[in-house]
Chains A and B, each alone.
Chain A
Amino acid sequence: MAKKIKATLDRRAAVNQILARRADTLVVTGLGSSCYDVGAAGDHPNTFYLWGGMGAAAMMGLGLALAQPKRQVLVITGDGEMLMGLGALATIGTQGPRNLAIVVIDNEQYSETGMQPTHTSRGVDLAGMAKAAKFPRTGTIHTQSQLKAWIPKLYAPAGPAFVAIKVNHTRYPMAIRLRDGAHIKNRFREALLGSSAFD
């Protein structure tokens, strides 16, 4: 195995930089730290926060991307959450939605349950898996300059794109109180669909 590079990027700084460019992008989070990171970057009605349903984020992004082919869809999730639904990479790769990008904030640990190591800490390469599943754009980011270069690709309709961002082990408090699922869903649909959301 290649020599391991120590992760130095900060998860919240990375998510902040990515979302600063979101414009009218539709965002889906995974549960746990990535949900809180996205909330901390600024609440938005077209963010869908998953507080449960581990393993669901990427596939939720696919359904949304297929329903809204003219809008960019960005999934921001964690390595543990992605590992729970790896089959989704094959399903998304074969569908090939150009408007879908998946960002994995990869701290190589299960942050919510006691910082147990995930398989990415043992050398499992999520971006390599996405590439093998026919994602045309994949990468693993270790540095600020790599992150800066990747951000425009997340918003370009040339996907599906997949990037793992290696981050350090800093833990942050929950920065979001909004957790009522029906409210999060209805608010998202109303912002996207207008009054037809309630037809």
Chain B
Amino acid sequence: MKAQKKPPTWPNDIYEVLKQVGIRQVAYVPDAGHTQLINSCHADRSMKVISLTTEEEGVAMLAGTWLGGERGALLLQSSGVGNCINLLSIMHECRFPLLMLVTMRGEWGEFNPWQLAMGQGTPPVLQHAGVVVQRVDRADEIREHVFAAAQLTFNTCRPVALLISQRVIGFKDWSK
């Protein structure tokens, strides 16, 4: 796949749903797949946007966010899921909601072998940590998937991870 000429519309779909469901705090470790969304959030004065040093900080922070009566979301890539595991025990024991939007690596057309371990491990690792795992493979379905994941997590107080397929994000063409 060659680089897309026009920016994709699905990151803005996510941004609009985050606004719609009342997300006030957005925590992230940067990922190329989330670039547009991160920029949109930073440009929005009604959102508090928190750049993290590691993804587990976001898990702990968003527990505090909910404790204080606000809603938040965590943006991360699949390699960062492994960093979250022990602190997800807080969500499990306390029944905190957590909306994780995970851009996937190490699957569809991946060129970097170092991404495979955590990319392939992401769904079972999250499930074993007590997180409800959902997945979206098509860009035109992202809006409804993010909305459904937000409804699920904030209404049932269970952590939910929405995995955004590498097929949606696109991959680097490594062929000569």
Contacts and interface: CB of A to CB of B under 8 A. Distances in A.
A129 B33 CA distance: 33
B140 to A, nearest CB: 32
Interface in A40-56: 48, 50-56
B115 interface: no
Given A60-B61, A91-B51, A48 B67 contact: yes
Contact of A67 (B57, B58, B65, B96): B65
Interface residues of B, number: 32
A53 B87 contact: yes
A165 interface: no
B39 interface: no
Contacts of A143: none
Contacts of A184: 94
Which of the four size classes fits the interface of chain A? 35 or more
B56 interface: yes
B17 to A, nearest CB: 19
B7 interface: no
Interface in B3-29: 24-25
Interface string A64-90: 111110000000000000000101101
Contact of A53 (B24, B65, B90, B95): B90
B156 to A, nearest CB: 13
A87 B53 CA distance: 6
B64 A54 contact: no
Contacts of A185: 66-67, 94-96
Contact of A196 (B69, B87, B96): B69
B53 A90 contact: yes
Contact of A56 (B25, B60, B65, B95): B60
B25 A52 contact: no
B67 A60 contact: yes
Contacts of B54: 87
A195 B121 CA distance: 40
Given A66-B25, A66-B68, A87-B52, 8 more contacts: A48-B67, A56-B63, A56-B90, A63-B67, A91-B50, A91-B51, A184-B94, A189-B69
Interface of A: 26, 28, 48, 50-68, 85, 87-88, 90-91, 94-95, 181-182, 184-185, 188-189, 192-193, 196-197
